[in-house]
């Protein structure tokens, strides 16, 4: 499990195709890694294969299976690209973000990026924030609400605004504070770039419970109707 609090960014050193997927070698600043360790790479939970780290950092390799390539944009990464990195949270760690599994639900696209100034906000304290507008797939619209949590490229963020389009697809807006902008790959993003989404898993559980109650209610209604007839 992860928290969406990005520890560092890393640089892709090498991207190599294999017969059954793709392998990335990524520069990392961590001084401790282990074989088989889970690590979120731009929001995708991957397994450390090989690594070489010391007091100054080093590198690690991760494998991208076909399923990962189908569901994420990691297959398009090339040497020189930056990625967000977060190691899994220890059992006694602090949950500073929200519950993030590293399971990408969908990809979206950056639609607009705007630097906010004093004239844009009533409280000048927030001048310097960035407003990011993203596309929102219709399949995720039920899980994204204003002031709710969402992980975008593995970053725990709060939804500032969400709008549904006529076709079901919509947009969501995130206000990004300077620290997040500077310490994650959001500063590298441009309009048209892809992003990973992972919606709040708690919303999925709530939906599942409600579906169960609706099914039970429908079953009771059918039995009652059958008894009356």
Verify whether residue 196 is a known catalytic residue.
no
Out of 31, 47, 76, 224, which one is annotated catalytic? 47
Out of 16, 18, 31, 65, which one is annotated catalytic? 65
Out of 38, 88, 107, 171, which one is annotated catalytic? 38
Whole-number Å distance between alpha carbons of 113 and 111 = 7
Verify whether residue 131 is a known catalytic residue.
no
Dig out the tokens for 194 from the structure.
């892809």
Verify whether residue 38 is a known catalytic residue.
yes
Dig out the tokens for 229 from the structure.
């007839």
Angle at 113 between CA 199 and CA 69, to 5 degrees: 45
Out of 15, 40, 45, 151, which one is annotated catalytic? 45
Verify whether residue 45 is a known catalytic residue.
yes
Verify whether residue 35 is a known catalytic residue.
no
Out of 107, 158, 171, 187, which one is annotated catalytic? 158
How many residues appear in the chain?
229
Verify whether residue 2 is a known catalytic residue.
yes
- At 30 the three-state DSSP class reads coil
Angle at 93 between CA 87 and CA 96, to 5 degrees: 85
Out of 17, 31, 35, 103, which one is annotated catalytic? 103
Extended strands (E) in the chain: 8-18, 21-28, 38-41, 44-54, 57-65, 82-87, 106-115, 130-136, 149-152, 155-164, 170-176, 194-199
Verify whether residue 224 is a known catalytic residue.
no
Cite the active site residues: 2, 38, 45, 47, 65, 103, 158
């Amino acid at each position: 499990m992860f928290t969406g609090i990005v520890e560092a960014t890393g640089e892709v050193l090498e991207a190599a195709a294999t017969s059954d997927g793709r392998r990335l070698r990524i520069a990392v600043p961590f001084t401790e890694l282990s074989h088989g360790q889970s690590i979120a790479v731009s929001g995708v939970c991957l397994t450390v294969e090989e690594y070489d780290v010391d007091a100054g950092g080093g590198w690690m390799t991760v494998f991208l299976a076909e399923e990962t390539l189908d569901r994420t944009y990691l297959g398009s990464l090339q040497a020189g690209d930056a990625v967000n990195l977060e190691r899994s949270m220890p059992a006694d760690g602090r949950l500073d973000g929200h519950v993030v599994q590293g399971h990408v639900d969908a990809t979206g696209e950056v639609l607009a990026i705007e630097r906010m100034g004093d004239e844009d906000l009533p409280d000048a304290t927030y001048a310097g924030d960035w407003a990011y507008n993203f596309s929102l797939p219709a399949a995720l619209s039920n899980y994204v609400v204003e002031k709710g949590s969402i992980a975008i490229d593995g970053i725990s963020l709060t939804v500032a605004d969400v709008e549904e389009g006529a076709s079901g697809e919509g947009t969501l807006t995130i206000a990004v504070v300077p620290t997040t902008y500077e310490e994650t790959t959001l500063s590298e993003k441009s309009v048209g770039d892809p992003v990973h989404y992972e919606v709040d898993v708690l919303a999925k559980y709530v939906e599942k419970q409600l579906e169960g109650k609706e099914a039970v209610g429908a079953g009771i209604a059918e039995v009652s109707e059958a008894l009356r007839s």
